[in-house]
C-alpha cells in the first residue's frame, strides 16, 4: 500500500523533482518505507511505499526491460502470480518478485485494457515515454483513491487532495455544488471535489492523457440483471461461504503480519471465521469500544474472538477523541462528515502497533442487503397504492416525530419512513440517504448562499444512478445505487484515509469484485427473507458463527455522538459554530444553527450528525481555505 503522485506536461517540459518531493512528503504517512521518483521529459512520477509484498526488490517506480515504461502503484494485485507466469511464457523478463511489475508487462501486451485483467485494489499511474502517454486507473470498486487536476496542457495527480495541492498552480476556488452535496450526503461524490479545478477519478475508470487531451473510459460495472438459478437453498449457502473463503484466501498473501478488525457484527465475524480456517497461525483481532452499552460491541467481538481463539486486542475511546478531529480533517482533504471515521482512525492507529495489514468486513451490507433504507423503501413502495391525500397525511404526522440522522430509535425510523411517502422511488431513496434533505438545507442556508447554489441538485446523484442501474427489482436497484454512490463516496474513503494515516493496509474481502458479482446474481427475493436484513447471509453463516451473533441487531461502527454533544463536546461545538469566523462565511443562518444546538442539548431532538457535519465543514475551511489550521494534538486513547 502506498501513495502516488505525478505530473505530465504536453509540451514535453521537465517536471522538477522539488514538486514531486513536496507531493511525496505530503503522503509520507501512506508509505513510510521508501520514496521513489521518475523524471523524464514531459513526465514525473513519485511514490511513498509501504512494503507489504516483495520487501527486498519491490521498491518503485517499476520499469519494463528497456525502461521506456514506468509505473507507480498504490494497492495490491492479488492475481499477480498467475499474471507473472502467463507473461513470462510470452517472453517478458521480470526483475522483481512483486505485484507491480505485472502491470508494466501486461500494459505492453494489452495497452490501457490491461486493467481488465487485474484482480485487486489499486490506483496506478503508468508513463509510456515512447507514446508520450499517461495512463492512470482505479480498481473496479474504488478501493484506492486518485485525485487529478488538468489545466493548459498539464495534468497533475495524487492519492490525496492535500498532496495534489502541493502543486501551487492549481486554483483553489471552492466548488459550492460539491459542498451542497456534502451537506446532503456527508461526503463529496465523484467526480466532484471540494475545489472546482480538482476531480476524483471514478472507480472502474481509466484516464489516458496524450498530447494535452484526457480521455476517460469506464471498464467494468456490476450486472444485477443476470440471475442464477437456485436449487436447494443449502447449496447456495455453501456457495456463499466458499466465495467468502476464496476472497479471504487472496488477501492473506503478505510478507508482513496480517490481522483483522473485528466489530462483533456478522460481516467482520465472517471474515475472521474464514481467516481462522485458512491462516497459517493464530489470527490477531482488534476491537474498539466506547464505554457506552448502547454503542459498545466489545462483548460481541470478544465472543467471536473466543470462538476462533484469536490473539485479541481491545480498546476504549473516550469523548476526548474530538482531539483528533483537526488531524482527521487534514487527512481527508475535503469535508467528510461520517462520524464513524473517529473509531476507524483510532482502531487503525492501535492496530498498526501489532500488524501492517488488517482485513475488515466492509461490503457485506451492500451486497447482501443490510440497510434499513432498503426496508424503508420497500415498505413505502407497498403504500404507493394508497391515495396520495392519505400518504400526505401520514407524511405530515411523521414530520412531527423526533428528528435524527441516526437510524436507532423506533420513532426516528418511523419519521424517516414517513418522510418518503409522497415521493417517487429514487427521490424517496435519496431522502432516506440524506442528512440534510432539500427543505432542511433551504432553512439552513442564507439567502445569498441559496442564490449562489441556484441549480444545484445533489439529489440528482441518486436519480441518475437509479436510472443507470441494471437490476429489475427495487432491491437490486437500491443495492446498485449504493455500490456506485455511497460505497466509493463514504465507506471506502473513510477506511482508506483512516488506515493509511497510520501506514496500515486495509483489505476488504467482501468487496472482492467476483464475490460482489456472485451476490448480484442472487435473486433479490432470497436476500431479505421476511424483511430480515441480510437474512440470506445470516442463514449461510450459521455453521460458522454463534447464534447470538447472527441474531443480534446491527449497531454499525458508530460513536455515542449524541451524548457527547450534550455533555463533553457541547461547549466545543457551540464555540466553533457560533464563532464570528464561522458566521461571517455567509453559508448558514445563525438562528438555524443556534436552534439546532439548543434543541439537541435540551434533548428534544437528535441533531448529532447535522452538528458534526457543520463542525467538519467549518474546520475544513479553516484548514484548507483560510490557511490557518488549528493545532493538531497528539493522537491519544484510553485502553479498556
CATH of residue 72: 3.60.20.10
Verify whether residue 39 is a known catalytic residue: no
Whether 147 and 208 map to the same domain: the answer is yes
Q: Cβ contacts of residue 440 below 8 Å, gap of 6+? A: none
Q: Per DSSP, which regions of 21-177 are E strands?
A: 34-40, 43-49, 62-63, 69-77, 120-128, 133-138, 147-151, 154-158
What are the backbone angles phi and psi of residue 48, rounded to the nearest 5°?
-110, 120
Q: pLDDT digit string (tens) for 298-307?
A: 889 999 999 9
Q: In the prediction, which pLDDT does 274 show?
A: 98
pLDDT digits (tens, 9 = 90+) for 243-283: 999 999 999 999 999 999 998 899 999 999 999 999 989 99
Give the mean pLDDT of the chain. 91
Please tell me the least confidently modeled range out of 352-356, 561-565, 576-580: 561-565
Q: What is the dihedral of CA 562, 327, 573, 493, to 10 degrees?
A: -50
Q: What is the CATH number of the domain that holds 344?
A: 3.40.50.620
Q: Which residue has the higher pLDDT, 319 or 334?
A: 334
Q: pLDDT tens across 533-545, in order? A: 999 999 999 999 9
Number of domains present in the structure of the chain:
4
Residue 336, phi-psi category: left (phi > 0), alpha (psi -120 to 50), beta (remainder): beta
Q: Which domain holds residue 598?
A: 561-625
The reply to whether 165 falls in a domain is yes
- The model's confidence at residue 230, banded by pLDDT at 50, 70 and 90, is very high
- Band of the pLDDT at 53, cuts 50, 70, 90? confident
pLDDT over 90 at 189, yes or no: yes
Please check whether residues 204 and 257 belong to one and the same domain: no
SS3 107: helix
The pLDDT value recorded for residue 288 is 87
Pairing of strands 357-359, 258-261: parallel
- Rounded CA-CA distance 435/440 in Å is 9
With 90 as the cut, is the pLDDT of residue 472 above it? yes
Average pLDDT over residues 545-568: 83
Q: Which residue has the higher pLDDT, 631 or 446?
A: 446
Question: Do residue 88 and residue 203 come from a single domain?
Answer: yes
* 519 falls within a domain: yes
Residue 164: inside a domain: yes
Inside any domain, residue 638:
no
pLDDT for 292: 64
Q: Which residue, of 527, 551, 575, is where some domain finishes?
A: 551
Residues 6+ apart with CB under 8 A from 439: none
Same domain assignment for residues 67 and 186: yes
Q: What is the reported pTM?
A: 0.93
Q: Which of 218, 242, 272 is where one domain is finished?
A: 218
For 173, other C-beta atoms within 10 Å of its C-beta total 10
Confidence check: pLDDT of 514 > 60: yes
252 and 350 Cβ atoms separated by less than 8 Å:
no
pLDDT of 406 above 70: no
pLDDT of 404 over the 90 cut = no
Separation of CA 387 from chain center: 40
Greatest CA span in the chain, whole angstroms?
A: 73
- Is residue 628 very low, low, confident or very high in pLDDT (cuts 50, 70, 90)? very low
Give residue 290's pLDDT band: very low, low, confident or very high (50, 70, 90): confident
pLDDT at 312 over 70: yes
In a domain, residue 39? The reply is yes
In a domain, 223, yes or no: no
344-402 pLDDT, tens digit each: 998 999 899 999 999 999 999 999 999 988 998 898 888 777 776 666 666 666 566 65
Is 86 in the same domain as 178? yes
**Contact, 537 vs 243, CB < 8 A?**
no
Mapped onto helix, strand or coil, the DSSP state of residue 51 is coil
pLDDT in tens, 126-174: 999 999 999 999 999 999 999 999 999 999 999 999 999 999 999 999 9
Q: Find the Cα–Cα–Cα–Cα dihedral 297, 299, 302, 307, rounded to 10°.
A: -110
Residues forming beta bridges with residue 5, ordered by sequence position: 46, 158
> How many CA atoms lie less than 13 Å away from 136 in the CB half-sphere?
30
pLDDT in tens, 210-219: 999 999 999 9
Q: What angle do CA 330, 333, 339 make, to 5 degrees?
A: 75
Are 281 and 356 contained in the same domain?
Answer: yes
- Dist CA 523 CA 239 (whole Å): 14
* Same domain, residue pair 267 and 352: yes
**Residue 374 to residue 376: CA distance in whole angstroms:** 5
Q: What's the Cα-to-Cα distance from 44 to each of 16, 20, 133, 203, rounded to whole Å?
A: 8, 7, 12, 23
Q: How many residues does the chain have?
A: 640
What is residue 133's predicted lDDT score, i.e. its pLDDT?
Answer: 97
CA dihedral (193, 197, 201, 202) positive or negative: positive
Burial of 198 (0-12, 13-18, 19+ CB in 10 A): buried
Catalytic residue among 2, 114, 405, 435: 2
- Report yes or no on 632 lying in a domain: no
Average pLDDT rounded to a whole number, residues 524-540 = 94
Q: Is residue 338 part of a domain?
A: yes
**Are residue 211 and residue 113 in the same domain, yes or no?**
yes
| Domain termination residue (choose one: 551, 576, 603) | 551
Q: What is the CA radius of gyration of the chain?
A: 24
Neighbours of 542 (CB within 10 A): 12
| Same-domain pairing of 19 and 109 | yes
Q: Report how far residue 205's alpha carbon sits from residue 215's, in angstroms, rounded to the nearest whole number.
A: 10
pLDDT score recorded for residue 412: 61
What's the pLDDT score for residue 395? 62
Predicted pLDDT of residue 639: 31
Helix (H, G, I), strand (E, B) or coil at 408: coil
Give the confidence band of 55 by pLDDT, cuts at 50, 70, 90. Answer: confident
Both 322 and 440 in a single domain?
A: no
pLDDT score for 407: 42
Residue 415 scores a pLDDT above 70: no
Helix H segments across 453-534?
460-468, 474-484, 486, 492-500, 513-520
525 and 619 part of one domain: no
Is residue 59 over pLDDT 60?
yes
| 637 confidence band (pLDDT: 50, 70, 90) | very low
Pair 151, 192 in one domain: yes
Amino acid at each position: 500500500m502506498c501513495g502516488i503522485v505525478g505530473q505530465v506536461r504536453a509540451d514535453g517540459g521537465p517536471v522538477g523533482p522539488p514538486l514531486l518531493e513536496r507531493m511525496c512528503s505530503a503522503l509520507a504517512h501512506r508509505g513510510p518505507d521508501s520514496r521513489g521518483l521518475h523524471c523524464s521529459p514531459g513526465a514525473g512520477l513519485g511514490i511513498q511505499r509501504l512494503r507489504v509484498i516483495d520487501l527486498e526488490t519491490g521498491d518503485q517506480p517499476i520499469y519494463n526491460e528497456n525502461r521506456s515504461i514506468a509505473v507507480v502503484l498504490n494497492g495490491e494485485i492479488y492475481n499477480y502470480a498467475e499474471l507473472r507466469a502467463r507473461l513470462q511464457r510470452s517472453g517478458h523478463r521480470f526483475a522483481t518478485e512483486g505485484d507491480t511489475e505485472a502491470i508494466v508487462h501486461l500494459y505492453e501486451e494489452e495497452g490501457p485494457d490491461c486493467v481488465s485483467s487485474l484482480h485487486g485494489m489499486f490506483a496506478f499511474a503508468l508513463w509510456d515515454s515512447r507514446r508520450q502517454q499517461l495512463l492512470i486507473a482505479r480498481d473496479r470498486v474504488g478501493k484506492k483513491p486518485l485525485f487529478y487536476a488538468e489545466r493548459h496542457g498539464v495534468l497533475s495527480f495524487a492519492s490525496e487532495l492535500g498532496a495534489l495541492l502541493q502543486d501551487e498552480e492549481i486554483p483553489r476556488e471552492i466548488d459550492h455544488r460539491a459542498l451542497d452535496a456534502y451537506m446532503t450526503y456527508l461526503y463529496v461524490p465523484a467526480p466532484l471535489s471540494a475545489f472546482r479545478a480538482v476531480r476524483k477519478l471514478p472507480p472502474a475508470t481509466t484516464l489516458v492523457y496524450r498530447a494535452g487531451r484526457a480521455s476517460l473510459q469506464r471498464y467494468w460495472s456490476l450486472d444485477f440483471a443476470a440471475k442464477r438459478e437456485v436449487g436447494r437453498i443449502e447449496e447456495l449457502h455453501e456457495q456463499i461461504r466458499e466465495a467468502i473463503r476464496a476472497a479471504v484466501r487472496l488477501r492473506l498473501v503478505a510478507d508482513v503480519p496480517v490481522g483483522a478488525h473485528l466489530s462483533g457484527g456478522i460481516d467482520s465475524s465472517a471474515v475472521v471465521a474464514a481467516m481462522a480456517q485458512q491462516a497459517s497461525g493464530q489470527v490477531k483481532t482488534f476491537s474498539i469500544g466506547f464505554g457506552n452499552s448502547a454503542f459498545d460491541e466489545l462483548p460481541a467481538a470478544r465472543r467471536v474472538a473466543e470462538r476462533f481463539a484469536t490473539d485479541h486486542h481491545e480498546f476504549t475511546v473516550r469523548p476526548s477523541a474530538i482531539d483528533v478531529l483537526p488531524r482527521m480533517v487534514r487527512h481527508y482533504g475535503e469535508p467528510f462528515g461520517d462520524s464513524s471515521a473517529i473509531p476507524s482512525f483510532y482502531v487503525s492507529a492501535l492496530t498498526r502497533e501489532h500488524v501492517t495489514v488488517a482485513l475488515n468486513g466492509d461490503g457485506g451490507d451492500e451486497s447482501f442487503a443490510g440497510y434499513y433504507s432498503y426496508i424503508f423503501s420497500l415498505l413505502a413502495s407497498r403504500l404507493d397504492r394508497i391515495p396520495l391525500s392519505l400518504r400526505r397525511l401520514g407524511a405530515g404526522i411523521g414530520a412531527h416525530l423526533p428528528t435524527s440522522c441516526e437510524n436507532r430509535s423506533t420513532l426516528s425510523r418511523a419519521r424517516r419512513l414517513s418522510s418518503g411517502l409522497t415521493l417517487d422511488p429514487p427521490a424517496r431513496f435519496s431522502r432516506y440517504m440524506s442528512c440534510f434533505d432539500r427543505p432542511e438545507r433551504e432553512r439552513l442556508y442564507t439567502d445569498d448562499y441559496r442564490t449562489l447554489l441556484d441549480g444545484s441538485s445533489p439529489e440528482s446523484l441518486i436519480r441518475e444512478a437509479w436510472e443507470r442501474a441494471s437490476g429489475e427489482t427495487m432491491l437490486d436497484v437500491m443495492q446498485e445505487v449504493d455500490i456506485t454512490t455511497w460505497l466509493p463516496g463514504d465507506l471506502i474513503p473513510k477506511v482508506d484515509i483512516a488506515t493509511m494515516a497510520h501506514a496500515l493496509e486495509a483489505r476488504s474481502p467482501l468487496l472482492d469484485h467476483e464475490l460482489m458479482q456472485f451476490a448480484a446474481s442472487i435473486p433479490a427475493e432470497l436476500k431479505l427473507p421476511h424483511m430480515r436484513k441480510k437474512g440470506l447471509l445470516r442463514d449461510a453463516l450459521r455453521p460458522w458463527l454463534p447464534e447470538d451473533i447472527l441474531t443480534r441487531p446491527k449497531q454499525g461502527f458508530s460513536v455515542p455522538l449524541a451524548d457527547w454533544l450534550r455533555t463533553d463536546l457541547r461547549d466545543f461545538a457551540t464555540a466553533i459554530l457560533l464563532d464570528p469566523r464561522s458566521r461571517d462565511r455567509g453559508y448558514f443562518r445563525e438562528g438555524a444553527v443556534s436552534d439546532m444546538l439548543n434543541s439537541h442539548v435540551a434533548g428534544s431532538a437528535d441533531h448529532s450528525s447535522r452538528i458534526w457535519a457543520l463542525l467538519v465543514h467549518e474546520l475544513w475551511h479553516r484548514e484548507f481555505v483560510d490557511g490557518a489550521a488549528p493545532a493538531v494534538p497528539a493522537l491519544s486513547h484510553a485502553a479498556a
